[in-house]
Amino acid sequence: MEVHDSVAVVTGGASGLGAGVVRTLVGRGARAVILDLPASKGAETAAQVGDAVAFVPVDVTDPGGVEKAVVEARDVHGRMDVLVSCAGISSGQRVVGRDGVPKPLEHFRRHIEVNLIGLFDVIRHAASAMSANQPNAEGERGLIINIASIAGYEGQVGQSAYGSSKAGVIGLTLPLARDLAPWGIRVMTIAPGTMDTPMLANLDGDFITELVAGNIFPHRLGTPADVGALVAHFMENTFLNGEVVRLDAGLRLATR
């Protein structure tokens, strides 16, 4: 699949990793549609990147809204070649507090609803839209790329909810690729390590140095551009399918 002139739909594309993917792909000649919350900076990001980008507001936990938004996103440019699922939440909380009281179930439920169920809901509608595409010479009709996390492998203290939701995304990769193979739709997952996103914007340099100390090399935060470059490679290398790629500079998370 060529990046140039392709159409990418990016959930969570208003900021952070999602915005980085949008900027990278558009910079290489693609067009994009940002799916993000109505209160997000989706319209602002789209305006900054240029006419090749549109914004469609949606909450991925609203099934009716998701179905409508995917149709609207497909209609913006007349088709959908790539879905990159970056929308997600992350909030740390131990299962049982220091007072011995269990934490509310809602904390766990919310992570599963957004990071796994919401992701899957967008995928099923996007895959349906891609199935109507004309196949290329290899028979490919589309590509789905999900953003997981290395916490899905090595969740730290307080990451039971987040780690479980991302482990679900990792586990979804191969069976989803097998399900969608008859349509010529590939599925890949990226498991990022410590990334330079707005959540880290207020941290001081010493703390950043501590965060990346566990990297084998290089000793820096990952960037949205790193993720965008890997997305572009997935598009171009059609022999990649049903696999999870860690993007983490060799980092393995410690207990905390």
- Whether a cis peptide bond, with omega within 30° of 0, leads into 182 is no
Q: According to the model, what pLDDT value does residue 210 have?
A: 82
Specify the pLDDT at position 197: 83
Q: Which parts of the chain sit beneath pLDDT 50?
A: none
pLDDT recorded at residue 201:
65
Strand 82-85 versus strand 53-57 pairing type = unpaired
How high is the pLDDT of residue 211?
81
User: What tens digit of pLDDT does each residue of 134-168 get?
Assistant: 999 999 999 999 999 999 999 999 999 999 999 99
d(CA 238, CA 188): 11
End-to-end CA distance of the chain: 40
153 part of the active site: no
> 222 pairs with which residues across the strands?
195
Domain boundaries along the sequence of the chain: 7-247
Per the residue annotation, which of 162, 168, 193, 227 is the catalytic one? 162
Note whether 225 and 25 are within 8 A (CB): no
120 vs 112: CA distance, rounded Å: 11
Query: What's the pLDDT score for residue 205?
Result: 74
Could you read off the pLDDT of 18-31 as tens digits, one per residue?
999 999 999 999 99
Predicted confidence at residue 199, as pLDDT, reads 65
**CATH code assigned to 7-247:** 3.40.50.720
Q: In Å, what is the CA distance from 110 to each residue of 23, 66, 91, 101, 116?
A: 29, 17, 10, 19, 10
Q: Supply the pLDDT for residue 202.
A: 61
Strands (E), 160-231: 185-192
Rounded Cα–Cα distance for residues 66 and 232 (Å): 25
pTM as predicted: 0.95
The letter for the amino acid at 144 is I
